[in-house]
Amino acid sequence: MRVFSIGLVISGIHLSMPLLFAAYGGLVSERSGVINIALEGMMLFGAFLGVAVTFWTGSPWLGLAAGVGLGILLGALHGLLSITVRADQIVSATAINLLALGVTAALIPTIWGQPGVSPTVARIPPVVLPGLSDLPLVGEIFAELSILDYVGFLMVPVAFYVLYRTPLGLRLRACGEVPEAAASTGVDVIRTRYLAVLTSGALAALGGVYLSLVQVGLFQRGMTQGRGFIALAAMIFGKWRPLPILAASLLLGFADAFQFRAQAVGLPLPHDLLLALPYLVALVALATFIGRATAPGAIGKPYVKD
Amino acid sequence: MAGPDAVQAPEPAVRLRGIWKTYSGGVQANRGIDLAVRAGSIHGLLGENGAGKSTLMKVLFGLVSPTRGGIELSGRKVRFGSPADALEARVGMVQQHFSLIPDFTVTQNLILGNEPTTRFGRLALRAAAARIQELSDRYGFRIDPNARVADMSVGARQRVEILKILHRGAEVLILDEPTAALTPQESAELHGVLRTLREQGRTVIFISHKLAEVIDLCDRVTVLRDGEVVGEREIGPEHRGPGPDRDAVERDLARMMVGRDLPAGPGRPHAPGAPVLILSGATDGGALAPIDMEVRGGEIVGLAGVEGNGQNELIELILGIRGCASGRILLNGTDVTRWPVDRRLRAGIGHIAEDRQSAALVMSMPVAENALLGYQNQPRFHRRGRWLSVQRIRDFAAELVRRFDVRTPSVRVTASSLSGGNQQKLVVGRELARRPSLIVAAQPTRGLDLAATSFVHEELDELRADGRGVLLVSLDLTEIMTLSDRILVVSGGAMVGSARPSEVDEETLGLWMTRGRTDRTGSVEAAAT
């Protein structure tokens, strides 16, 4: 087994996808003016409920739906706290993150009778597209892609189109830049921000579901391992813009894949250093990130109607 | 109601009847105001800050609901619950703060909230831009619909604001101090647009506290004071040219606004002493070209320029907030080029910061602690070593409050509870307590009413009489012209002109500000003639 191979590409895509979903969740929320550092908690909850429901029903599709549904609920909670009650958006999100870590860990033994990890459940299978999987070289990649991978890649142009080419996108961005100006033209800032935060919760949870139901088929305590924050880094490094965020997610996902494979192959590098690689890449990406002014103008500021 | 055959004067486009507005805090902003605005005219609404102009117009625009009173548009009674209702009835308002999104293009800004789309839900940007272009051309706005607002000048943005309400179909346009941040040229351009609008039958209500432009532009002026109408004047062509008619109406309006005669501007000899500040080739190595200038004791040097042309950078360079890459800065003959801010302040610089609410005061701290800012290391506020003495701080603050007539119930209330004028008095008082040999006053009267403005002007004049140097940075050319002994003009981070007030007029200064030096060799003084 070599480090650089088709396997790296497959694993890179698989590891990028959760980041991409969560980062787009962050994008949608923050472009509307609501900071969402709860991506991590939303992912973890999504991953957890996805596995639990699959365990109970035997259907990963129901698990997927449940996980995403929970993400929407969490988005509603974040919205309620940060939009309606106008609590500090960081505090509200941190509460969700802490809740996710504690609640999911506590429920593992109650549901499965064992601490730390669930039993293996059915995974979301790859879609076999006849023809594509038979292609030389890239066929191997297509054979490994699930419907969620296609959804993920399709999400990029869709998000771009909605954000920049539709009234909804224009309004959403207006709410994130100068909500007062948006309101003065009749845009319902509160409703728009809620819509964005709900979508954000759904996408982040989808990232979590991908992690548990596409990649491994089980839930492990704290299994997101900070990927929600890495996604946040991808969003910032991508300057809150859809295409650069795709690039940043791929970069960080592939760094992770490289790390895994380097360990498997036994590259003569310290184990800990390899483990830290994706985080180091994220750190370097953020440190070299120039032009902080690209954040939406009203980000983090509650909107108060006067 | 008169019958259909009755001959009568046309109904005014806007009639406000007995408008009262009492805010929840008990402040009576409007007290029974009647106002009639002729259709197709420009109607001036003149008054000091707090006179009730903005409240009255917010009532008309549906932003504020009146406690009592009614609105009629062309004789028809209306009631507005929101700006959307007002826009529906073709009344639009441009408020003082800009309501544009800098990151958006003009077109995106104008269609926001009412976006045209193609069949597939896609924004029809091109068609919208074409319509906006057509509207802009018809009224002479000279606006590119595809330009990003962030890249436009303040004057252009102001025109976009007006274009925005026109685009929404407004027949009655309310403009709240639209020229406050504009250069004379930009103001003139705006006046041109407004006259075109009037020719085309639209009605404009123009809020201002600048007498001169109200007389230049308006057909009729209503003056408000303390929430009541104190007078109205019809303005005709005979008032617009210079002469006794104009002077009379100007004096009249000023008296109505303030409620008393204003002291005449300081006429005084200019006898400067030794230089207190010298910059020779000083630059930050970035935004500023090498700057040569001096401020002498006993003079006020006015620094004019369009906002964002290096004034802030120059102030920071003088104070030491911004490092000096090359050149020298001398304060009272001592080289302070490498000195940190604190040392320069102690050596005799006072600074009235441009944005008092964020750069000069901490709004959430009490008046007393705000008075202390910058003096916290002085032993006279300490007791037993370096512990701050609350009592000494309060005594000092109380003394400032008394001497500078800061209206506050106590020195323990937060700075945010003071009015803008009183906040500024506190800042001015604190900086003068330093007894500085040089005071750098950045926009010291921005947002202040006439009374507070004249207070600040008198203080600066006293400093001058006392032999201190004043560097007055202002966007208000009238302020620069009346106060300064010498005027410097910055443009694009470089000094492009220098003159005495008697040698130039506002138009010339405006030209220097916007065009800068036309060539490197020709002197600016030559350009002035």
Domain ranges of chain B: 12-258, 275-365+409-528
- What does the pLDDT average to over B122-147? 92
Residue B327 gets the label, from left (phi > 0), alpha (psi -120 to 50) or beta, of: left
pLDDT for B246 equals 85
- What is the 8-class DSSP label of residue A220? B
- Kindly tell me if the per-residue pLDDT of B351 is higher than 60: yes
Nearest C-alpha in B relative to A162: B122
Digit-coded pLDDT (tens) for B226-284: 889 999 999 998 888 888 888 888 888 888 887 765 544 445 677 788 999 999 999 99
Which residues of chain B make contact with A186, given a CB cutoff of 8 A? Answer: 84, 113-114
Q: Which amino acid is at B415?
A: A
User: What total number of domains does chain A contain?
Assistant: 1
Domain that holds residue A132: 20-224
Dihedrals phi, psi of A97, to nearest 5 degrees: -60, -45
pLDDT for B14 equals 94
Residues 72-101 of B with CB under 8 A from A: 83-84, 98-101
Inter-axis angle of helices B450-465 and B244-258, nearest 10: 100
The answer to the question of residue A110 being in a domain is yes
Q: Which of B24, B95, B96, B101 to mutate to test the interface with A (most CBs of A within 10 A)?
A: B101
- Kindly tell me if the per-residue pLDDT of B336 is higher than 70: yes
Q: Are A257 and A8 in contact (CB under 8 A)?
A: yes
Q: Which two tokens stand for residue B268?
A: 């005084």
The answer to the question of residue A153 being in a domain is yes
Per-residue pLDDT band at B523 (split at 50, 70, 90): very low
- What does the pLDDT average to over A50-55? 96
CB contact under 8 A, B113 and A177: no
Digit-coded pLDDT (tens) for A194-205: 999 999 999 999
Scored b (16 or more CB within 10 A) or e, B189-202 reads bbbebbeebbeeeb
% of chain B at pLDDT higher than 70: 93
How do strand B486-491 and strand B494-499 relate by DSSP bridges? antiparallel
The counts of H helices and E strands in chain A are 12, 0
Q: Are A200 and A28 in contact (CB under 8 A)?
A: yes
- What is the 8-class DSSP label of residue A265? H
Q: Are B451 and B421 in contact (CB under 8 A)?
A: yes
- What is the 8-class DSSP label of residue A210? I
Q: Which two tokens stand for residue B477?
A: 């050319």
Task: Give Rg (Cα) of chain A.
Answer: 19
- Kindly tell me if the per-residue pLDDT of B524 is higher than 50: no
Window from A57-61, A222-226, B83-87 with minimum mean pLDDT: B83-87
Beta bridge partners of B304: B474, B489
Q: Which of B112, B122, B166 to mutate to test the interface with A (most CBs of A within 10 A)?
A: B112
Which residues of chain B make contact with A182, given a CB cutoff of 8 A? Answer: 101, 112-113
Candidate CATH numbers 3.40.50.170, 1.20.120.420, 3.90.1150.10, 3.40.50.300; the one for domain B275-365+409-528: 3.40.50.300
pLDDT for B332 equals 92
The answer to the question of residue A71 being in a domain is yes
- Which pTM does this prediction carry? 0.76
Question: One fold for both B12-258 and B275-365+409-528?
Answer: yes
pLDDT for B517 equals 45
Digit-coded pLDDT (tens) for B406-426: 888 889 999 888 888 888 889
% of chain A at pLDDT higher than 90: 67
Three-class SS state of B344: helix
From the list A167, A182, A187, the residue facing B123 with the nearest CB is A167
Flag whether residue B104 sits within 8 Å of chain A, measured between CB atoms. Answer: yes
Inter-axis angle of helices A6-31 and A39-57, nearest 10: 120
> For residue B277, which of B331, B327, B322 has the smallest C-alpha distance?
B331
* Euclidean distance between the first and the last CA atom of chain A, given in angstroms as a whole number: 64
- Kindly tell me if the per-residue pLDDT of A3 is higher than 70: no
- What does the pLDDT average to over B308-328? 91
Three-class SS state of B17: strand
How do strand B14-22 and strand B68-73 relate by DSSP bridges? antiparallel
Q: CATH says B12-258 is which class? A: alpha beta
Alpha-carbon gap, residue B246 to A134, rounded angstroms: 90
> For residue B110, which of B168, B159, B197 has the smallest C-alpha distance?
B168
Per-residue pLDDT band at B321 (split at 50, 70, 90): very high
- Kindly tell me if the per-residue pLDDT of B6 is higher than 60: no
Q: Which two tokens stand for residue A16?
A: 């990028």
- Please report the DSSP string for B205-256 in residue order: EEEES-HHHHHHH-SEEEEEETTEEEEEEE--HHHHSSSHHHHHHHHHHHHH
pLDDT for A291 equals 52
The answer to the question of residue A80 being in a domain is yes
Q: Are A45 and A205 in contact (CB under 8 A)?
A: yes
